[in-house]
Amino acid sequence: MTSFDAVFQSSINNPEEFWAEAAKNITWYKEYDKVLDSSNPPFYKWYPGGKMNTCYNAIDRHVENGRADQTAIIYDSPVTNTIRKISYKELLDQVSTFAGVLKGMGVGKGDTVVIYMPMIPEAAVAMLACARLGAIHSVVFGGFAPHELAIRVDHAQPKVIVTASGAIEGVKNLAYKPLVDSAIEQSTHKVDKVILFQRDFVKADMIDGRDFDWNEMMEKSEPADCVEVDATDPLYILYTSGTTGMPKGVLRDNGGHAVALYWTMKNLYDINPGEVWWSASDVGWVVGHSYIVYGPLLQGSTTVFYEGKPIGTPDAGAFWRVISEHKVKALFTAPTAFRAIKKEDPDGLLFKKYDTSCFECLYLAGERTDPDTLHWAEDLLGVPVIDHWWQTETGWAIVGNCRGIEELPVKEGSPTKPMPGYDVKILDDEGKELPAGQEGNIVVKLPLPPGTLTTLWRNDERFVKSYMTTFPGYYETSDGGYIDEDGYVYVMGRMDDVINIAGHRLSTGAMEEIIANHPDIAECAVFGVDDKLKGQLPVGFFVVKAGVTRDPVEIKDELVKMVRESIGPIACFREATQVVRLPKTRSGKILRGTMRSIANNKDYNMPSTIDDPVILDEITDTLREMGYVKK
């Protein structure tokens, strides 16, 4: 047995022993009574009875234990031409002071705070300040439009919204404040306190009595201390796309989250305290929560906070400049970023300009790493390129290559083997386990390891229905795939209506709900088509109501505008075509999966329940005219 297999087996055979050992890296105010409470499945509780504080573990204890002057955050912002280093001591000052600001506004243990900010260190300060008070943050990605922000505000019911006046997206200056104002207008939960961080390039108007200036409040405020919370108390809600317009509020606890993330920094990513780690994502996504903010800080390493793009800020050498300038040991990003770099600089000429001898490994996730991107990156960088698979729900990798334990050979198309703690199986639709090589539903036997979702915010029922019902005793990942003879997992894609656009998770169901609101639309279907740069892009088909004779292109333009204004530009919804009818089963279910297979030139079985097979021929012709179907 290899050393990795031995560690994996011990995590599955003796999970409590395994995670008790890992829990020693966290400072507890009071030790937990039990490692795992399995008395009420599927609501498992890690470390019940334990008392701790995530912010204390991420900042204070490092200041107390010799890391006060070590850099905690390197803010590198090519879009504002800024590089700023924040030591653990300075971070403690800022976070405790901002916690004082929130406390002064009545925020305490169990209250919620929505954070809508670009990639500036103040976003991390706000998150950690919530954790310090035992308050629950919900960060919303800045690419979401006011309507999406309003949905989250209504569901999370925050006492305060923390925002910034704007962001620079590539070369565009974007004002955030009007978006927040509009979201508050649209939401029924009325937020009466907004804290605003003014940025130099875009000054926002303030609403008297409701809006408070970040800097002014910081000057007036007294630092607040860490509040003791239960290990099982919530740390954050992170909304993620499901199959409908109502996103799922994934809930993360404090104790299990801290233990698991700390464990992954060394064992998965081979990072030691004090080393420089860079996750080029956004705080609005789970990767940003786990590996821009919490993971590296819990461990006492240095995290790079990058406000820029892989290309265009200023060029496709930006990543190599950051690695070289800050002595980055390992980078984590999405394959789409590498495809963008490859497109701009296919021969990697810009890479050769920089000394990147400090760099040891590239980690990719967010979507499948295609073999072309894998090999291009391997050849260019001359270091291991490691794919790993995870979801917002799990908070850390389900399948990966634990370089800190034993680096396993990379097989293209596979993120390697199940991580310790995850008992991954492949089941057919009836719940029967499938043998090696056969594709089916990827599931994880319960209990899930620490750090994974404990439930959905204020919706235990949806939690059970979405993840725990189809295959009793297992967590349903909604991804399909198979495991080969060597135990390597291959993730082939989502089985539901979630799509992945440039590493961003979006719901085609949500787009359909928006389109259906158009007065001329009778019905519609949106599905994902493969895209060379962004992985997937959404394509819509719409049928107009009887009597509508308008120009279809005009209607399409209106639909594109509606999706952009309601969900946001990141939905990248640009393609929609009018059709006479949509293919359906006899019970009226639209055959989105079949249309997706046709558009992506994949083989498909004619559904036995199809209402009228001729419609599929019409759809195939339309997709051929649109340039998707090649045959």
Residues that bind ligand COA (CB under 6 A): 142-143, 167, 169-170, 174, 280-281, 285, 287, 309-311, 333-334, 336-337, 340, 365-366, 502-503, 569-570, 572
Q: CA of 272: how far to CAs of 267, 275, 330, 575, in Å?
A: 10, 6, 11, 46
Selected from 282, 367, 496, 497, the binder of ligand AMP by CB under 6 A is 367
Residue number, 120 or 227, with CB nearest to ligand COA: 120
520 binds, among ligand AMP, ligand COA, none (CB under 5 to 8 A by kind): none
Q: What's the CA gap between 123 and 120, in Å, rounded?
A: 6
Tell me how far apart the alpha carbons of residues 546 and 22 are, in angstroms, rounded to a whole number. Answer: 63
Bridge partners for 521 per DSSP: 544
Selected binder of ligand AMP within 392, 401, 441, 566 (CB under 6 A): 392
> Judged by CB, which is closer to ligand COA: 93, or 372?
372
Cβ–Cβ under 8 Å, residues 456 and 466: yes
Minimum separation from the CB atom of position 495 to ligand AMP (A): 9
Nearer to ligand COA, 250 or 572 (CB): 572
Give the CA distances from residue 279 to residues 241, 369, 460, 470, 588, in Å, rounded to whole numbers and listed in that order.
Answer: 22, 17, 32, 34, 44
Q: Which of positions 285-344 make contact with ligand AMP (CB under 6 A)?
A: 286
- List C-alpha distances in Å: 525 to 62, 148, 509, 568, 579: 52, 20, 8, 19, 10
491 binds ligand AMP (CB under 6 A): yes
Tell me which of 320, 389, 422, 457 binds ligand AMP, using CB under 6 A.
389
* Residue 402 within binding range of ligand AMP, rule CB under 6 A: no
CB of 6 to ligand COA, least distance (A): 30
Q: Which does residue 444 touch among ligand AMP, ligand COA, none (CB within 5 to 8 A, set by kind)? A: none
Q: How many helices (H) and strands (E) does the chain have?
A: 20, 32
Q: Shortest distance, CB of residue 503 to ligand COA, whole angstroms?
A: 3
Q: How far is the CB of 282 from ligand COA (least distance, A)?
A: 6
281 binds, among ligand AMP, ligand COA, none (CB under 5 to 8 A by kind): ligand COA
Question: What whole-number distance in Å separates Cα of residue 595 and Cα of residue 584?
Answer: 10
Min separation Cβ 415 and ligand COA, Å: 13
State which residue, 148 or 387, has the beta carbon closest to ligand AMP: 387
Residue 187 binding partner per list ligand AMP, ligand COA, none, with a CB distance cut-off of 5 to 8 Å that depends on partner kind: none
Phi-psi region of 19 (alpha: psi -120 to 50; beta: other; left: phi over 0): alpha
Of 360 and 387, CB closest to ligand AMP: 387
Of the candidates 121, 122, 92, the one whose C-alpha atom is nearest the C-alpha of residue 226 is: 92
Pattern of binders to ligand AMP over 498-527, x per CB under 6 A?
--x----x----------------------
Burial class of residue 66 in the structure, from the number of CB atoms within 10 Å of its CB (0-12 exposed, 13-18 middle, 19+ buried): exposed
In the chain, what's the furthest Cα-to-Cα distance?
Answer: 74
| Interacting partner of 447 out of ligand COA, ligand AMP, none (Cβ under 5 to 8 A depending on kind) | none
Q: Which of 148, 211, 479, 512 binds ligand AMP (CB under 6 A)?
A: 479
Nearest approach in angstroms of CB 171 to ligand COA is 9
Residue 602, number of CB atoms within 10 A of its CB = 10
Residues forming beta bridges with residue 136, ordered by sequence position: 112
Secondary structure (DSSP) of 368-427? ---HHHHHHHHHHH-S-EEE-B--TTTSS-SEE--TTT-PPPP-TT---EEPTT-EEEEE
483 binds, among ligand COA, ligand AMP, none (CB under 5 to 8 A by kind): none
Q: CA 339, 343, 346 angle in degrees (round to 5)?
A: 105
What is the 8-class DSSP label of residue 239? Answer: E
Q: Which option in ligand COA, ligand AMP, none does residue 476 bind, with CB closer than 5 to 8 A by kind? A: none
Does position 368 interact with ligand AMP (CB under 6 A)? The reply is yes
Residues in region 240-279 near ligand AMP by CB under 6 A: 240
Q: How many CB atoms lie within 10 A of CB 420?
A: 24
User: Residue 142 binds what, of ligand AMP, ligand COA, none (CB under 5 to 8 Å, by partner type)?
Assistant: ligand COA
Does residue number 360 form part of the binding site for ligand AMP (CB under 6 A)?
A: no
From the list ligand COA, ligand AMP, none, which binds 418 (C-beta under 5 to 8 Å, kind-based)? none
CA distances in angstroms from 609 to 431, 497, 583, listed in the order given: 22, 20, 11
Query: Is 365 or 591 the residue whose CB approaches ligand COA more closely?
Result: 365
Query: Which one of ligand COA, ligand AMP, none interacts with residue 302, CB within 5 to 8 A by kind?
Result: none
Q: Examine residue 314 and say whether the peptide bond preceding it is cis (omega within 30 degrees of 0).
A: yes
Q: Give the x-and-dash track for 186-225 against ligand AMP (CB under 6 A).
A: ----------------------------------------
Binding window for ligand AMP (CB under 6 A); candidates: 132-140, 189-197, 387-395, 447-455? 387-395
Q: Residue 49: which of ligand COA, ligand AMP, none does it interact with, CB under 5 to 8 A by kind? A: none
55 vs 397 by CB, closer to ligand COA: 397
Minimum CB distance to ligand COA, residue 381 (Å): 17
Residues in the interface with ligand AMP (CB under 6 A) total 18
387 binds ligand AMP (CB under 6 A): yes
Question: Using the rule CB under 6 A, is 282 a contact of ligand AMP?
Answer: no
Q: Are 25 and 49 in contact (CB under 8 A)?
A: no
**Long-range contact set of residues 421-429: C-beta below 8 Å, sequence gap at least 24:** 421/11, 421/12, 421/15, 421/18, 421/19, 421/260, 421/448, 421/449, 421/450, 422/394, 422/398, 422/448, 422/449, 423/12, 424/398, 424/399, 424/483, 424/489, 425/474, 426/481, 426/482, 426/483, 427/471, 427/474
Distance of closest approach, residue 334 Cβ to ligand AMP, in angstroms: 8
Of the candidates 485, 295, 473, 530, the one whose C-alpha atom is nearest the C-alpha of residue 390 is 295
* DSSP-derived pairing of the beta strands 112-116 and 160-164: parallel
Closest CB to ligand COA among residues 156, 570:
570
For helices 552-566 and 146-156, what crossing angle results, to 10°? Answer: 40
CA 257 centroid distance within chain? 15
- For ligand COA, the closer CB: 173 or 215: 173
Q: How far apart are CA 625 and CA 631, in angstroms?
A: 11
DSSP label at 63? I
**Binding-site ranges for ligand AMP (CB under 6 A):** 240, 286, 365-368, 387-392, 415, 479, 491, 494, 500, 505
